[in-house]
Amino acid sequence: MSSREFNPKRFSKILVGVDDSPDAQLAFRFAMNRAKQDDSELDLVTVIEENDINIYQALDKNFITQKRTELEKHLQNYRKIALEFGIKKVQTYIAEGEAGETIVKNVIPSVDPDLLVIGSSSKTGMAKYFGSQASYMAKHAPISVLVVR
């Protein structure tokens, strides 16, 4: 097969779900490399999962504001790393809800990426076990999904 016959898909906008779990860090590194290779935009999303917040925290506006501020700092650190790596355009997003459903139903339609890169597990909630959040996104996302482990 000549190089003309084999033309791998180029992605123009890559969305990656990030948190502090090892799998999410791997997903971030993979997404950065692919974004640089394809000269594509890199979009970073993190989700405030409601099942990780108890009722008292949910009612405390200061807690939610503090949680958002903390996540925004994390996202900006990821953004800085990606820009230093040579990615030209990096956007960040914070969403709220169950990670899989929120990314599929809210984030993907509004961000409009052509590839979703996610870790196979998360440090929080039910997503600790592959078969929940990652498999939901792989099954229901309307775009290509790469699950990294």
Domain that residue 116 falls in: 27-144
Residue 131: predicted pLDDT: 47
Name the residue with higher pLDDT: 100 or 66: 100
pTM score, two decimals?
Answer: 0.84
For position 37, which CATH number holds? 3.40.50.620
pLDDT for 33-92, tens place per residue?
999 999 999 999 999 876 665 565 666 677 778 878 988 999 999 999 999 999 999 999
DSSP letter at 93 equals E
Give the bridge partners for 146, in sequence order: 117
Beta-bridge mates of residue 14: 42, 115
Assigned domain for 15 exists: no
Q: Which of 1-10, 46-55, 105-114, 132-141 has the highest mean pLDDT?
A: 105-114
According to DSSP, residue 122 is labeled: -
Is residue 53 within 8 A of residue 67, CB to CB? The reply is: yes
Q: In total, how many domains does the chain have? A: 1
37 contacts: CB under 8 Å, gap ≥ 6: none
124 found inside a domain: yes
